[in-house]
Amino acid sequence: MAFRSTRIAPTLPFAMGILTLALSACNSSSDSSTPIVAQAVDGYIVGGSVRCDEIANGGTAAGGRLTCPQGTELMHVSGGSDVGFDANATSGTMTFAGQLVAPSSLSWVTPLSTMAVAMASNDGNFDAGRFHAAERALATALGEPELDLDANPAENMRNTRLNAQLHQIMTAFAVSPDQYGEVAGVFAEFFAERAASGLAIDLGTGAGDTMNAINQRLERDSSALAIEQDQLDRIIASVTSTNQQLAATGTPDGVVDIAIAAAKPSVMGLDREADAVWFKTHDTATFRAESIDGLASNRRIDGQYMTVIPADIASVSLSPVAFDIYEDLNRVPVSMAFELTSTDNDDPRGISAAIEGVKLTAWQGESGTLRVEVPAGTDINLTHTDSRGTLTRTLIDIENGKLFDAIDGELRLRLGELRDALEKHDLEDITDTDGNYRLTMVIGGIAFDMIRNGKASPAERYTVDAGNVAVTGSGLQGYVTITEGSF
């Protein structure tokens, strides 16, 4: 679907990022030779092609800077590289594969303004006189009455988050610049209907409803961009996780980090159905094996989850049979974290621990080669809540710094060593009495898939907050009951 100015006919594909217009003080001058100065930002987009209405006008420089002549109605940027918020960078490794468009009346042009342009268009013709009304309708649809499309997205976190969330949903359907226009038109229809009904949509918790609605409209139009429902359900799970993380972050750099991580290709897969989650006591010959799907069950019988483990558990590990290594990993830097949180309302106990500077190595197709390297002297970032509800944030040391390690391809969370460290630091062992817990394990810095029935889909992403360090990444989550009994 193409959107055209009432004066000219530029194509309007959808944006993958943020185009910010920093109008110079003299932009309102009657001197027609004074150009409009702008910046393309997702982070900053460098090396992108600039089009002013339908006239090509060079490319974007450091800081995403571009110019268009006075009288330009719609400004476009396509291609280039996203360099985050490094204002001096002139090249980058993350490709910007979209096109940005916005009216030159705004100081900051974003995916949100792109939606407003689409909503202000009729049969593909952009009507600048309807833009303000479209902006208000967009604010209503998003449940954001204070939404200001002219606010600096590097300072206004509402806009930064919404732009990023919108991008995640758009790119679930559109994977090339030529597809953005079609999806933008359908999205604009959806937003207009929500505004008219007064039913706001949350792009975080409501990502699934939004994506189903967009897909239904694409199917109605017999669009090739419509997605089969089983595949869409998997994509919805991934996008919802990412968008909820975006909703929780507090800085523009945090938004960039989450978006970059979500865009990374998976380097390995984990079999959800194999009995590959091992719970071992100090006697390593004694263990319980559970599947990732089995661990994920939060069903209780007689007050206990389906996975019951003893209080003297020494390690939780993923066995080599779980892993399908897609590509060689040679000392890839990652961060690793876990969280054990009580799910009983009257039990405040919980613990989160994270470690940075880890190096991960594995060779393609050889799961037994998985290795974890932890620098000597590495401290563990810890958040600990005891049975009285006392919260402690601290650094602790564990033998050899190894909260995580890998033996013969078995990736282990070493709970026994952590328990010893808690005692050393006079912190309560929260697992020494019966309890029901949610267990989360996360690897930040790489992405991996979950495999079920031979089909791979992106693993859900989680955030573990361990005080000074918060690790966001692909992970797994499940439910366990810890008892004073034994296997």
Return the biggest CA–CA distance within the chain.
83
Residues 6+ apart with CB under 8 A from 306: 294, 297, 299, 300, 479
Taking a C-beta distance cutoff of 8 angstroms, is the pair 285, 186 a contact? no
Structural domain boundaries in the chain: 36-263, 268-483
- What pLDDT, on a 0 to 100 scale, did the predictor assign at position 8? 36
* Cα–Cα distance for residue pair 437/298, rounded to 1 Å: 10
Tokens 């402690």 — which residue?
A: 392
**Helix orientation angle between 229-248 and 252-263, rounded to the nearest 10 degrees:** 160
* Cα–Cα distance for residue pair 416/279, rounded to 1 Å: 11
- What pLDDT, on a 0 to 100 scale, did the predictor assign at position 97? 67
**106-139 burial string, b = 16+ CB within 10 Å, else e?**
bebbbbbbbbbbbbbbeeeebbbebbeebbebbb
Residues 6+ apart with CB under 8 A from 197: none
**Residue 394 C-beta-side C-alpha neighbours within 13 Å:** 14
Facing residues of 326 across strands? none
Q: Of 65, 252, 96, give the one whose Cα is nearest residue 164.
A: 252
Q: Mind listing the pLDDT tens digit of every residue in the chain (487 residues)?
A: 545 555 433 333 333 444 444 444 444 444 567 888 777 777 777 888 888 888 999 888 887 788 889 999 988 877 778 777 788 999 876 667 677 888 888 877 788 988 898 899 888 788 999 999 999 999 999 999 999 998 888 888 999 899 889 988 988 888 766 787 788 899 999 999 999 999 999 999 999 999 999 999 999 999 989 988 877 887 888 788 889 989 988 898 888 888 877 777 788 999 999 999 999 987 666 678 999 999 999 999 999 999 999 988 999 999 999 999 999 999 999 999 999 999 999 999 999 999 988 999 999 999 999 999 988 788 899 999 999 999 999 999 886 668 899 989 999 999 999 999 999 999 999 988 899 999 999 998 888 889 988 888 778 878 888 988 888 788 999 999 999 865 4
- What pLDDT, on a 0 to 100 scale, did the predictor assign at position 285? 62
Task: Label residue 476 left, alpha or beta by phi (over 0 means left) and psi (-120 to 50 means alpha).
Answer: beta
* Cα–Cα distance for residue pair 477/353, rounded to 1 Å: 15
* Cα–Cα distance for residue pair 428/247, rounded to 1 Å: 33
Tokens 């110019």 — which residue?
A: 67
* CA dihedral of 350, 271, 402, 426, whole degrees rounded to 10: 20
pTM for this entry: 0.59
Query: Phi, psi (5° rounding) for residue 351?
Result: -150, 135
Strand pairing category for 55-59 and 49-52: antiparallel
- What pLDDT, on a 0 to 100 scale, did the predictor assign at position 50? 81
